[in-house]
Structure 1
Amino acid sequence: MRIAVTGASGKLGSVVTARLRDDGHSVIALDTTGERGAGFTRIDLTDYGQVVDAFSSIDDRHDGLDAVVHLAASPAGGIMPDSATFHHNIAATFNVFQAARRSGISTIVYASSETVLGIPFETPPPYIPLDEEYDTRPESMYSVVKHLEEELAKKLVRWDPELSVSALRFSNVMHVSDYAAFPSYDADPASRRWNLWGYIDARDGAQAVARALEARIPGFEAYVIANADTVMSRSSASLVDAVFPGVEVRRELGEHETLLSIDKARRMLGYEPEHSWRDHARPSPE
């Protein structure tokens, strides 16, 4: 396929771009910064004219696209004031969705966020493992935008039954270079309670994107995308007992099983994490 990837130079986007090219796709890399050549085009996604133009054609790069992977955003709260986070991220996502529709592109895979699940869980989660079956619970302006993006996608697919929009609720994105710090988390389990000790290896995040593009399920679907394990050495059950003692645990937990359920992504996309920090990090000293 010919695929545009927004945020192609980012922590996840660079890995996604490489994965899709390795899979044999032609990738147009769109971002505010990046290396010239290799299909990179600089773009301001808050400018609708630039987005619809880039999706329609770019000189000798392409004359039409089959799909869009939208990963670009201000990636967390606090980087900009709340008002700027809201206006920037919602404008960019609206422009991507609308420009794709206007350009005849019916396959969109984009980065939603684990934050819509209720992070940082100052109000305890409704149950564990968390899944996609309860309403979103945004607790920050960044997360409010992610909620609104999902709502926008739901309405667009109602208007256009051929449209396929996959919202990937990525957990905390990690590279191998990040894993050296993981053993230190054991000293204070509360330091990572904010996202139920979850993470996503960028390579497995890229796998999820590739699977969603291949599946191209009509309509809107949201998927929690995390690794199969937690960031902790201690057991998942002991973490829940210690930090969220009153929360319902809906099934027996594996030793290090993620508390962000990836069952739906496994079932509908064939997603299966292939990497773990445990394969790279040294154990903490006794």
Structure 2
Amino acid sequence: MDSHPETLIVTGALGGAGRWIVDRLAEEPYTIVAVDRDLPTGTPPDGVDFRAVDLVDAGETTDLVLSVDPDAIVHLAAIPDPLDHAGERVYRNNVLSTYNVLNAAGRVGADVTWTSSESAYGFPFAESVRTPDVLPIEEHHPLRPADPYGLSKVSGEETAKTVVRRDGISVCSIRPSWVQYPGEYFVTELREAFDIDVLAADPEGAVGGGPGNYWSYVDVRDLADQIARSLTIDIDGHEAVHCHAQDNYLGEETTDLFAALLGEVPEPCSLSGEESAFSMAKARDLLGWTPSHDWRSESAVDGPDFGAP
């Protein structure tokens, strides 16, 4: 990653996380071209140039990238889960848009930070509970996607590696957890309804049980800060990095949760207390990033004053 990019393209700029990330990056001395399918309503940050582009269209994407000639691209655009759209649509949209962005980035020599997902491991959205090979889960854990969304993210990471080999750019694939927004943490209702004894009795039917991401989450402000940080770090080739809060969202010992869910704690395991099932060590060592927000300190704050029509 270029340590001092001047011009950025940010895709998915009107999405839930995208608006916060554009707002955060607008605090830096970048020239930002923000991209989505539509132009924004409301009051976008001063100096951000919005463009309406269909990234599934290779011609539109290439034309955008060639005309802007950015130093770096932050690629956020995607259908964010497999629940509300046909699987084929999720996979096709995410794979084609990511391929088009990465391919064009490589051709102009622009480094890329993009949002992959913890779904690449195959834990969320699986039809039955899956057991991790080790705890905490690190970025080298095998990727075994179980749904079209997770599969699209694995395809994106493989595309990133291909473009890195071909064009010599760097790509940071961030694997965020379930993104939460200040003043509307969805995990709050799950925590209030959770009962660990019910989880042990009915692992797949209990609130907070069944297929999932092992009770992990991340505040959107921490995701925005990690992306901003990635743009200032020299990355060699392709690197995948977790972006999670430090703890689980239930306020229980994480090993107790695994024991209730699985009947045993996966080994080897070096988790302690309420520590997240996903390791933040690489994010700390590579990017110098640690999360600053958690459910205990969560409160409403004013968010971006612009969005999709």
Query: For the residues of structure 1 that align with 2:298 and 2:226, how far apart are their CA atoms?
Result: 21
Check the 8 A contact 1:225/1:262 in 2, yes or no: yes
Could you say which structure has the greater relative contact order, defined with CA pairs below 8 angstroms and 6 or more residues apart?
A: 2
Please give the per-residue CA displacement for 1:77-124, whole angstroms capped at 9, x wherever unaligned: 03221111121111101100111122232x100010010122236222
**Separation (CA, whole Å) in 2 of partners of 1:142 and 1:129:** 23
- Determine helix, strand or coil for the equivalent of 1:233: coil
Residue 153 of structure 1 corresponds to: 160
The 8 Å contact of residues 183 and 233 in structure 1, kept in 2 or not, is answered as: no
Distance in 1 between the 2:250 and 2:265 partners? 19
Pairing partner for 1:178 from 178, 181, 184: 184
The answer (yes or no) to whether the contact 2:284–2:290 under 8 Å persists in 1 is: yes
Q: CA deviation at 1:238?
A: 1.8
Q: Distance in 2 between the 1:174 and 1:156 partners?
A: 31
2:294 to 276, 279, 284: 276
Report which stretch shifted further, 139-148 or 231-240: 231-240
Aligned length: 275
- In the alignment, the residues of structure 1 paired with residue 36 and residue 171 of structure 2 have an alpha-carbon distance, to the nearest angstrom, of 21
Query: 2:37: which partner in 1?
Result: 32
- 3-state SS, counterpart of residue 8 of structure 2: strand
- AA aligned to 2:119 is T
Equivalent position SS for 2:29: coil
What are the Cα deviations for residues 128-169 of structure 1, in whole angstroms up to 9, with x where unaligned? 211112220100011111111111111221223x31011101
Q: Paired residue for 2:147, among 137, 140, 153?
A: 140
CA gap 1:91/1:183 in 2 versus in 1, 3 angstroms: closer
State the match for 2:24 in structure 1. Answer: 19
Per mean C-alpha deviation after superposition, the further-off stretch among 66-75 and 114-123 is: 114-123
2: distance between equivalents of 1:276 and 1:86?
Answer: 31
CA gap 1:181/1:164 in 2 versus in 1, 3 angstroms: closer
Which stretch has the larger CA shift, 93-102 or 236-245?
236-245
1:142 maps to a residue whose letter is Y
Aligned-partner SS, 1:12: helix
Please report how far the alpha carbon of residue 281 of structure 1 lies from its aligned counterpart in structure 2 after TM superposition.
6.2
C-alpha change, 1:181 and 1:142, in structure 2 (3 Å) is closer
Compute the displacement of 1:218 (Å).
1.9
Provide the C-alpha distance between the structure 2 equivalents of 1:192 and 1:153, rounded to a whole number of angstroms.
34
Residue 22 of structure 2 corresponds to residue 4 of structure 1: no
Which region of structure 1 is more displaced relative to structure 2, 67-76 or 224-233? 224-233
> Do 2:135 and 2:270's aligned partners in 1 also have CA atoms closer than 8 Å?
no
Amino acid of the residue matched to residue 249 of structure 2? Answer: V
Distance in 2 between the 1:68 and 1:213 partners? 9
Of 243, 264, 273 in structure 2, the residue corresponding to residue 255 of structure 1 is 273
CA distance in 2, matches of 1:192, 1:216: 39
- 1:166 aligns to 2:172 (yes or no): yes
Q: Does 1:242 align with 2:248?
A: no
Q: Normalising to structure 2: TM-score of the pair?
A: 0.83
Give CA deviations for 1:4-44 in whole Å, capped at 9, x if unaligned.
11001111111111111112222111001342674111110
The reply to whether residue 118 of structure 1 matches residue 128 of structure 2 is: no
Q: Percent same amino acid at aligned positions?
A: 33
Judge conservation of contact 2:255–2:265 (CA < 8 Å) in 1.
no
Could you tell me whether the CA contact under 8 Å between 1:183 and 1:232 is conserved in 2? no
Alignment pair present for 1:48 and 2:58: yes
Structure with greater helix percent = 1
Q: Which runs of 5+ in 1 are unaligned?
A: 58-62
Q: 2-side partners of 1:280 and 1:200: how far apart?
A: 11
Secondary structure, counterpart of 1:277 in structure 2: coil
Structure 2 segments unaligned to the other structure (5+ residues): 1-5, 197-205, 301-309
Q: Measure the CA separation in 1 of the matches of 2:51 and 2:94.
A: 19
Please give the residue correspondences for 1:59-208 in structure 2 after superposition, counting only pairs within 5 Å. 63-105=68-110, 107-120=111-124, 122-160=129-167, 162-179=168-185, 182=188, 184-188=190-194, 190-193=206-209, 194-208=212-226
Question: Using a 3 Å threshold, how does the CA distance of structure 1 residues 78 and 251 change in structure 2: closer, same or farther?
Answer: closer
Distance in 1 (CA, whole Å) between partners of 2:267 and 2:17 is: 31
The 1-side partners of 2:251 and 2:146 are apart by 28
